[in-house]
Structure 1
């Protein structure tokens, strides 16, 4: 089946969502590095994007810390391993490229992990923004370091908010 796409607004700018056969295959920011050419996104359409748009809205409202949408991640076996490991990084937390390399059983592959991280086709939902340099400094982000900082600050502020106490 041919891809379809739509564009939604977000606090980090417009996000282009791309789906094939009802599964999300891409979530791209404007001027994102490794963003495929626009002509590969297919025709505009909204049919498969309802749950993705809803969950992104909940995420940006601070009401969701993980996603449950149908996705198809296309890449090498190594890239898919890295992307799966990204989904295991807890909301509001970060790991280094080296720590992620160790987690996937490839302790000397931190550079390869960084390259795979940069080619993540489903930003935000597959949280590549949660990976930082060995010293904790922000390093590389396909969507730009300002967006990475925004997402990390947003998650940290929401992760540390105490649950609301209800008085009866």
Structure 2
């Protein structure tokens, strides 16, 4: 019953966004890569990348007046909705947003995304502790996982 309620609440959160202009989803994950001695930031994973979570700006303030686009207003609305239904879903705003984005994925894809969430977190912890040859192996495995994560649109 709880899962059913969560799906209904997520769908309700989507209905307001359905009328908004459709733009490609922005990624909050940026990878810091070194290529030929230069640092490059990209939304594409690369070997030995450092994953950075960024927080995009949420409106422009000019002369004391704050201007927010429709996308920011929708994001704030979804965050407020997530907080309102938190006692029912048990999810914070970040977890709610992940569930909202994955609701239309096939069940087997959602399961693989969840497995990759845990696997990448574990691999990132191993990467921080590894060195030498083990580090290269962990980074290679992490790159494969990140590419699969992006391919599945998790």
Q: Same fold (TM over 0.5)?
A: no
Q: Which has the higher helix share?
A: 2
Structure whose CA Rg is larger: 2
Q: Give the alignment's TM-score, normalised by structure 2.
A: 0.29
Q: Give the alignment's TM-score, normalised by structure 1.
A: 0.27
